[in-house]
């Protein structure tokens, strides 16, 4: 049944996708569980970071989020305390993914999500009314539509708030009262007009450190969250693992049979590393690509190249395609980004292809063509 569901959904939430694994972990978990958690903190960590042989499990649990274990541990204990968790970092560092995994492991529900935008209103985090029911039956709990956050409160589970900093300060203020009082009152009703949070309720929010300051969080709200800063992965081995892990999934999802040759993966990682180094030493915004060059972006480039090869190519991933995809995905601002990429292509890729040859030469060619098409 779960298998079927997984197959039918374009992208299954983590609790569905890893249902069997979570069931099994729950069955062997004898550790103490806070509140109504489905797994003990240690099992949550195991689920997210994967198992070791020394854990002595009968079944191997794959690693799903890659990064310093301290971040995961700090996130888990935050959720077990009475503070909300705010994952902050550059876009594409896996914040939302970690939030989803944690919610799935802790309460088997990662879908109570509010997306923060400039248009998010208080209703989105409290409740709204079903107008036709109100007209038919008047205002009652029945005609009320609880927000995902309110649902999470009622059920004592984890609610998620994506891109918290993008929402307006009204919304942030409403969140303060939810996090501190832990109830929401419904003044429109005479009776049954308070929704109390059950134990186990907490919020995982994510925030993009690149647009911090758009609606800088108030200090009152900051105080109710523990911040866990997720850095951009810079170690090549863990980055390679992430990219491999995610593309495998993608290939499975699209039912694509295609090999990602390790040399191409290397080229991808190397070029990102170069571009990051260049960005780090840039002195002005104009010398920096707009892209944060995160792991997710790398995955994006590879995805693009894979899909391109599969649907428009000869079903083999080639270095030319990868070069083209890299330029195509990173050149967002003409002319600045193109100029930077052009410089990189001339200054780094070209000499490297002369020195190392091999796939770098085709990579050089593919990128060059795309650059000339775009400019």
Partner 1 sequence: MSADMSPVVTTFDALRGQLLDAAEAFSGGGDTLSGILAGMVDDVDRMLREELEIFPVCHHSPASALAMTRRLRTKRPKVVYLELCEDLRPLLDELRNCRLPVALQAFATQLDGFPPGSGPLSVVAPVTEASAEYQAIAYALDTPGVELVLVDRSVDHVFQWLPGEPDGTASSGVEGVDGEEAALHGDAVGVEIGDLRPRFAELEAHLLHHGKVRHWSEWWDQYVEQPLTGADYDTYRQAMALIGSLFRRLRPTEDDRLAIDEERERYMWTRIREHLTASGADPADCLYVCGAFHAVSRVAEFGLAADAPPYAISPRTGTRWLYGLIPSSHSAIEAQFGLAQGSVSIAAATWAKAGRRGGVTPYRLEGQQGGRTRTKTVKTVKGSEPPATAGPAGDRLSGFLAAPPVLDGLDEDELRGWCVDIVRLARRGGYLASTADAIAVFETSILLAGLRGRARPTPYDFADAAVTCIEKDVVPGRRDVRRLCEILLGGDRIGAVGYDALPPLARDVYDRLEPLGLDLSRRTQQRVLLDLKANPELEPCSDVLWKLRYLLPDGAVRPIMGVRRLGERPIQESWDLAIGRHQRSIIELGYEGVTVEQVLEQRLRRTVWEPQATAGVALTAVADAILYLGGRRFADEFGNRAVELLATERTVDDAPEVLRRIRRLLAHYRATEPELPAWCEAFVTVGYAHYCTLLPTAFADDDTGVRQVGAMLGFLFTLESLALSLGCDRAQLELAVRQSHPEAPAKVALLWAAKTQLGLLPRDELRARCDELLSNPLVVPAFPLYLSGFVQALEPVPALAPFVVEALSKAFARLPDPVLLPWLPTLIMTLRKHVPELVPVLVREAGRTFPGGLAELDAWTPPWERPAVPIRQGRQTGEAGAAPGRSGPAAALLARHPQACDAVAALLGCPAEWPAAEVPEPGQVEVRELLARHPTTTGAIAALLDR
Ligand X SMILES: Nc1ncnc2c1ncn2[C@@H]1O[C@H](COP(=O)(O)OP(=O)(O)O)[C@@H](O)[C@H]1O
Q: Give strand pairing partners of 206.
A: 87
Q: Is 281 a binder of partner 1 (CB under 8 A)?
A: no
Residue closer to partner 1 by CB (options 240, 371) is: 240
Q: Is 52 a binder of partner 1 (CB under 8 A)?
A: yes
Best CA proximity match to 162, nearest among 195, 193, 123, 207: 207
Q: Which two tokens stand for residue 6?
A: 């997984």
Q: Is 73 a binder of partner 1 (CB under 8 A)?
A: yes
Binding mask 122-161 for partner 1 (x = CB under 8 A): ----------------------------------------
Residue closer to partner 1 by CB (options 75, 120) is: 75
In the bound complex, what is the minimum distance in angstroms from residue 313's beta carbon to partner 1?
Answer: 39
Applying CB under 6 A, the residues found at the interface with ligand X are 65-67, 89, 91-97, 206, 233, 242, 246, 295-296, 299
Residue closer to ligand X by CB (options 231, 351) is: 231
Best CA proximity match to 273, nearest among 295, 290, 288: 295
In the bound complex, what is the minimum distance in angstroms from residue 152's beta carbon to partner 1?
Answer: 21
Please state the separation of Cα 339 from the chain's center in Å: 30
Q: Which two tokens stand for residue 71?
A: 């971040």
Residue closer to Mg ion by CB (options 209, 361) is: 209
Q: Is 253 a binder of partner 1 (CB under 8 A)?
A: no
Host H or E run for residue 127: strand 127-129
- Judge if the upstream peptide bond of residue 347 is cis by omega within 30 degrees of 0: no
Residue closer to Mg ion by CB (options 91, 200) is: 91
Q: Please identify which residue in 226, 238, 270, 369 interacts with partner 1, judged by CB under 8 A.
A: 226
In the bound complex, what is the minimum distance in angstroms from residue 235's beta carbon to ligand X?
Answer: 11
Q: What is the DSSP letter of 35?
A: T
Query: Does residue 150 contact residue 195 with C-beta atoms inside 8 Å?
Result: yes
- Which residue is closest to Mg ion by CB? 96
In the bound complex, what is the minimum distance in angstroms from residue 16's beta carbon to partner 1?
Answer: 26
- Rounded Cα distance between 183 and 275, Å, is 48
Measured over the CA atoms of residue 14, residue 20, residue 24 and residue 27, the dihedral's sign is positive
Per the rule left: phi > 0, alpha: psi between -120 and 50, beta: everything else, 182 is left
Task: Give me the residue label for tokens 């569905």.
Answer: 16
- Rounded Cα distance between 104 and 102, Å, is 5
Question: Which residues are near partner 1 by CB under 8 A?
Answer: 41-42, 45, 52-54, 68-70, 73-74, 76-78, 80-81, 83, 88, 207, 209, 212, 217, 219, 222-223, 226-229
């Amino acid at each position: 049944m779960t298998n079927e569901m997984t197959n039918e959904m374009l992208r299954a939430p983590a609790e569905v996708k890893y249902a069997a694994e979570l069931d099994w972990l729950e069955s062997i978990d004898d550790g103490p569980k806070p509140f109504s958690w489905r797994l003990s903190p240690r099992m949550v960590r195991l689920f997210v970071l994967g198992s070791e042989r020394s854990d002595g499990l009968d079944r191997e649990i794959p690693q799903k989020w890659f990064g310093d274990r301290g971040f995961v541990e700090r996130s888990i204990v935050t959720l077990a305390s009475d503070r909300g968790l705010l994952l902050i970092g550059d876009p594409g560092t896996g914040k939302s993914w970690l939030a989803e995994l944690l919610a799935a492991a802790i309460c088997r529900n990662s879908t109570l999500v509010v997306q923060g935008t400039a248009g998010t209103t208080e209703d989105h985090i409290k409740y709204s009314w079903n107008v036709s029911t109100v007209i038919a039956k008047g205002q009652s709990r029945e005609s009320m539509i609880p927000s995902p956050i309110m649902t999470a409160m009622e059920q004592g589970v984890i609610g998620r708030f994506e891109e918290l900093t993008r929402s307006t300060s009204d919304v942030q203020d409403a969140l303060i009262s939810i996090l501190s009082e832990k109830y929401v009152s419904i003044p429109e009703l005479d009776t049954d007009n308070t929704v109390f949070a059950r134990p186990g309720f907490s919020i995982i929010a994510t925030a993009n450190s690149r647009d911090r300051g758009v609606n800088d969080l108030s200090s009152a709200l900051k105080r109710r969250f523990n911040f866990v800063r997720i850095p951009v992965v810079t170690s090549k081995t863990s980055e390679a693992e992430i990219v491999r892990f995610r593309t495998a999934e993608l290939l499975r999802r699209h039912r694509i049979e295609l090999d990602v040759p390790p040399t191409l993966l290397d080229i991808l990682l190397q070029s990102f590393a170069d571009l990051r180094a260049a960005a780090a030493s840039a002195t002005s915004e104009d010398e920096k690509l707009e892209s944060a060059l995160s792991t997710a972006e790398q995955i994006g480039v590879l995805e693009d190249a894979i899909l391109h090869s599969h649907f428009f190519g000869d079903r083999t991933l080639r270095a030319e395609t990868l070069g083209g995809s890299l330029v195509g995905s990173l050149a967002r601002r003409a002319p600045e980004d193109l100029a930077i990429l052009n410089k990189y292509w001339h200054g780094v890729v070209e000499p490297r292809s002369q020195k190392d040859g091999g796939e770098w030469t085709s990579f050089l060619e593919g990128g060059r063509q795309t650059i000339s098409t775009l400019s």
